[in-house]
Structure 1
Amino acid sequence: MADDEMVFPGETLESLLEASKTPEGRWRLASGTLDAILRLPSFPPHTLLQYLRLLRNLCAGEGANQDSFIESGGPDRIAAVLLGPPPAPPEILRAGLQLLGNVALAGEAHRSAVWARFFWSGFLELARVREPGVCDPLCMVLDTCCSSDGGRPRLEELCGVERGLPILLEIILVSITAGHHEEWLEWLLSKVCIEEPYFSLLFSKLGRSNVSCNSSDVGYQYNIFTHEQAFLLGVLSKCLTERPEDIAVSNDFALNILEVLKAASTIVDFTSRGSSALPTGSPAIDVLGYSLAILRDICAWENPISPATEAPIDSLLSACFLELLLSYLRQLELPSTVRKSMVHVKDQIIQPSITDSSKVCPYKGYRRDVVSVIGNCLHRRKQFQDETRLLNGIPLLLQQCVVDEDNPFLREWGLLAVRNLLEGNEENQCAVAQLELQEPVITPEIAGLGLKVEVDKDSGRAKLVNIS
């Protein structure tokens, strides 16, 4: 059958396709067109793709067509096309999955019907095609079926070790091999890992056999990380950075990432200076960097529905997170600007000399990332502003307000961290003012950072001023 041959009286396949691209056209075709197509004894091979695209368009937001698809046995009919035999080409699979995704968007009954027909073996077979063009609409179907009312039990099935989890693992491998991914994968993984408690399970399955995981706790023991694990963290970091208002961050996820960060910090070689930013190609370094990036965004995240509720950052800070971050920063060599300026300062007694035991940044931006997480932790949290002072962290943060050739935007993040440290905290403001008064030990340091402390004439409070 040629594209311009009559499909129904007065209608060609081409004219139907064109009409189905608009809401008005889909509404006009809602009376019987989809049923008639599904009743065809077979789809002519040379027009199969056009028929699938027509069905896909007809089910794009048109409730009558979406209902008819289910009532007319559409899932079984499409399963016969997609799952063969014979094996269908990728463009057929893509159009068919887009059709199923459009149908699943209609409601719980539609999602349930699609899921019942394709989970688990059908979805796994489609994932094993390992084509990027198939992977994205497959993620659309999975994410839609696991959303809204009734979605949580299906998500639990999808994350089941024996049947569902292999589907996710195949999808991730496809995306890594292709070198790119589309948004539906991000939506699916953010639901699985960030909102629901399946990050640790998926992350461990992407690792190697020398990973032990206690599913009832966050006590991981990692000896090595993989490219797949780094990829997963990179995707999750992108989700949180670009769409924080669309994601509900769970406490479990935040604590899991903290454990991953701790493990990565013991594996990464801090004696070798990194020459590139993320991703570096080293799984352990990338895991370290993406963990910091995720934690930075978690510390800035607020529940859009109920801002007053306890945020994941509270769980992190209760786990001595701030003390850990300050220790990471304290173990590093001084920023490059400070190191160079110290060469010209005689009788330096404030700063210890740099020794071979000082750690260096394993990737460009590591110091900045640590400072950025600290800065977000301190925002309007007096308890942790005070803790920073008690841990002697004020001079440490002042050191970060400089340009550093290995850490783009370190100065900006450092200034933000110091601003958050001092905001609304008279004790910290006075502590910085006292540093200014301890001449000649402290003054050269603060002045060398392009900063000075002034006392506000009206309030009498100390404030930090950028003088460069």
Structure 2
Amino acid sequence: MAAAGALPAAAARLGSAVAAAPEARLESVRALAGLFREAQLREMAEESVFRDLLNILMSTSSEIEQAYKDSCEMVDLDTCLLLIAECFRCLRNACVECAKNQHVMRNLGLISTSVHLIKLLHGIQIKEELLLTALRCSLQFLGNIAAGNGDSQNSIWKCAFPDLFLTCLTYSDEKIVAYCCMVLFTCLNAEKVRELLDPRNLTVALHVLKVYKQQLESEWSVTLLELIMAKVSEKNPVTSEEMNAFMRHADFLAGCFQEKCEAVLKLTSAADAEDEEALVTIRLLDVLCEMTSNNGQLEHLQALPGLLETAIDTLRLTHLAGKQAVNIFTATHAMTGQEEISHPAVGFKSHLIRLIGNLCYKNKENQDKVYELDGIPLILDNCSIDDNNPFVNQWAVYAIRNLTEQNERNQELIAQMEEKGLADNSALESMGLEIEKGDDKLILRSVRKKPS
């Protein structure tokens, strides 16, 4: 551990260097950043240290602003960026598990100063490594000052949401995006979740999902999809503004699912049971099921090109994977252990059938599309009781009824399958359906319930 006497000496050098040349300030800040790796020295830090760091950040910020305002060349830009990065490293280190320092920094205004600096650095519009490092360190500082500190989280949210998040989430630098996500999720609570999912702010959530789609940084996407899922499945009436917002983003969510759906096949391996990309695919399917269960959003989603085809193809792939080897997609009638019950892919095929059924609800074009893609035999082959897919029989009943409603061709196909022994009559009966012969024609119809 560093000697306790080193901190006062380093703090004194920092105080003397505040008005000195950038190189001198840089050296004194760097020394302090190293000392603040020690928990005991963090607790010993005086408020004056953080006030000096604030003054350095503010003066450096002013130098950069003035230079760009006057359109003059700034010879020391590199040194300024190094100094900003080192100040944020120092502040970042001083915040680690130290509520005292978090409180002092927040009261001094370091959060608002940091947000201002991030916006300023973004405006420089250069992509050199020094600038990126300064941005990364600033976001790490915000993440650390927010950790476990509700007051700091509220302060960051007030200063940064949504503009700062929108700015940083669009960066091509993966670390900046990841640190921005860290800050966002550290600050979230129930009240902020409602604000995040407000139609005016939903773009922030969708940017996180775009990160998943482009860079496979899916750790945050799972959580966001959970939030979106909670919103779209709310029992409360959805306002027209909220409905329009979700419909605008439905194409994107469906596109994510279509592009990444095959990732779920990784779950055939027990070693990949927690694969992030596969988990996001599962949650995307859940969201799409909920969205297609809402009459206000159903028609739009029914018309999306490729979504129905993707659902059928994915059902076929998972069904085939379950037949080729014993895995989570294999139909089973007796659980062998708790591990299988808690597997993230439990119910995945049920939800695929649910989505197919929703997309075919009173939609002749989609009914016919399922016929052309041989989706009806596939659904019938997945209608038996399966402990890995709870309620699969009920969702198959629902899907078949939606597929056959006012669609004679689909009715005839199922009837012919039953006659040829390709469809299990007992399965049809369990669905409340039966085959009736008349006028040289096979008809699929609902079974009338007998009075008890």
- Normalised by the length of structure 2, the TM-score is 0.53
**Distance in 2, Cα, partners of 1:259 & 1:225:** 17
Change (3 A) 1:444 1:417: closer
**Distance in 2, Cα, partners of 1:200 & 1:122:** 22
Give, as a single letter, the amino acid of the residue that structure 2 aligns with 1:190: L
Contact persistence 1:270–1:360 (CA under 8 A): no
Contact persistence 1:385–1:421 (CA under 8 A): yes
Contact persistence 1:258–1:295 (CA under 8 A): yes
Give, as a single letter, the amino acid of the residue that structure 2 aligns with 1:236: I
Q: Which residue of 2 aligns with 1:11?
A: none
Q: Are 1:191 and 2:202 counterparts?
A: no
Q: Which residue of 2 aligns with 1:211?
A: none
Aligned pairs for 1:229-240 (under 5 A) are 229-240=221-232
Change (3 A) 1:425 1:159: same
One of 304, 307, 319 as aligned partner of 1:318 = 304
Q: Are 1:203 and 2:185 counterparts?
A: no
Change (3 A) 1:293 1:138: farther
Alpha-carbon shift at residue 317 of structure 1 (Å): 3.6
Q: Are 1:286 and 2:298 counterparts?
A: no
Structure 2 gap ranges (5+): 1-94, 120-138, 331-343
Change (3 A) 1:331 1:300: same
**Distance in 2, Cα, partners of 1:170 & 1:302:** 35
**Distance in 2, Cα, partners of 1:379 & 1:260:** 23
- 1:426-461, Cα deviation, whole Å (9 max, x unpaired): 43333333333x23343457459666424599xx96
Alpha-carbon shift at residue 283 of structure 1 (Å): 1.1
Give, as a single letter, the amino acid of the residue that structure 2 aligns with 1:202: V
Alpha-carbon shift at residue 302 of structure 1 (Å): 3.8
One of 148, 168, 173 as aligned partner of 1:131 = 148
Q: Which residue of 1 aligns with 2:186?
A: 174
Q: Which residue of 2 aligns with 1:262?
A: 258
Give the fraction of aligned pairs with identical amino acids, expressed as a percent: 17
**Distance in 2, Cα, partners of 1:466 & 1:404:** 27
**Distance in 2, Cα, partners of 1:312 & 1:157:** 34
Change (3 A) 1:130 1:316: farther
Aligned pairs for 1:20-419 (under 5 A) are 128-131=145-148, 133-134=150-151, 155=162, 159-161=166-168, 169-174=181-186, 182-191=189-198, 196-205=202-211, 220-222=213-215, 224-242=216-234, 245-246=237-238, 247-248=242-243, 249-270=245-266, 272=268, 281-303=274-296, 311=297, 314=300, 317-333=303-319, 354-355=323-324, 360=329, 363-419=345-401
Contact persistence 2:222–2:283 (CA under 8 A): yes
Alpha-carbon shift at residue 203 of structure 1 (Å): 2.8
Alpha-carbon shift at residue 418 of structure 1 (Å): 1.8
Alpha-carbon shift at residue 158 of structure 1 (Å): 5.2
**Distance in 2, Cα, partners of 1:326 & 1:273:** 22
**Distance in 2, Cα, partners of 1:90 & 1:184:** 26
Change (3 A) 1:447 1:455: closer
Give, as a single letter, the amino acid of the residue that structure 1 aligns with 2:148: E
**Distance in 2, Cα, partners of 1:203 & 1:453:** 45
**Distance in 2, Cα, partners of 1:449 & 1:381:** 24
Contact persistence 1:255–1:316 (CA under 8 A): no
SS in 1 for 2:412: helix
SS in 2 for 1:161: helix
Change (3 A) 1:89 1:203: farther
SS in 1 for 2:329: coil
**Distance in 1, Cα, partners of 2:366 & 2:317:** 20
SS in 2 for 1:250: helix
Q: Bigger CA drift: 387-396 or 118-127? A: 118-127
Alpha-carbon shift at residue 329 of structure 1 (Å): 0.9
Give, as a single letter, the amino acid of the residue that structure 2 aligns with 1:333: H
**Distance in 1, Cα, partners of 2:389 & 2:293:** 21
SS in 1 for 2:193: helix
Contact persistence 1:332–1:358 (CA under 8 A): no
Contact persistence 2:350–2:390 (CA under 8 A): yes
Change (3 A) 1:242 1:274: farther
Give, as a single letter, the amino acid of the residue that structure 1 aligns with 2:399: A
**Distance in 1, Cα, partners of 2:395 & 2:271:** 21
Contact persistence 2:292–2:358 (CA under 8 A): yes
Alpha-carbon shift at residue 266 of structure 1 (Å): 3.7
Contact persistence 1:398–1:414 (CA under 8 A): yes
Q: Bigger CA drift: 416-425 or 404-413? A: 416-425
Q: Bigger CA drift: 240-249 or 361-370? A: 240-249
Alpha-carbon shift at residue 326 of structure 1 (Å): 0.6
Give, as a single letter, the amino acid of the residue that structure 1 aligns with 2:363: R
- 1:61-98, Cα deviation, whole Å (9 max, x unpaired): xxxxxxxxxxxxxxxxxxxxxxxxx99879999xx9xx
**Distance in 1, Cα, partners of 2:298 & 2:201:** 12
Q: What CA RMSD, in Å, does the superposition of the two structures yield over aligned residues?
A: 4.8
Aligned residues: 304
Contact persistence 1:299–1:377 (CA under 8 A): yes
Change (3 A) 1:200 1:389: same
One of 428, 433, 447 as aligned partner of 2:410 = 428
Contact persistence 1:325–1:370 (CA under 8 A): yes
- 1:306-352, Cα deviation, whole Å (9 max, x unpaired): xxxxx47535643211111111111223798xxxxxxxxxxxxxxxx
**Distance in 1, Cα, partners of 2:422 & 2:298:** 40
**Distance in 1, Cα, partners of 2:102 & 2:368:** 59
- 1:187-238, Cα deviation, whole Å (9 max, x unpaired): 233237x974444433345x5xxxxxxxxxxxx555x443222222222222
Change (3 A) 1:117 1:226: closer
Contact persistence 2:380–2:423 (CA under 8 A): no
Contact persistence 2:263–2:277 (CA under 8 A): yes
**Distance in 2, Cα, partners of 1:171 & 1:133:** 13
**Distance in 2, Cα, partners of 1:370 & 1:275:** 24
Alpha-carbon shift at residue 395 of structure 1 (Å): 1.8
Alpha-carbon shift at residue 406 of structure 1 (Å): 0.7
More helix by share: 2
SS in 2 for 1:463: strand
Change (3 A) 1:203 1:255: same
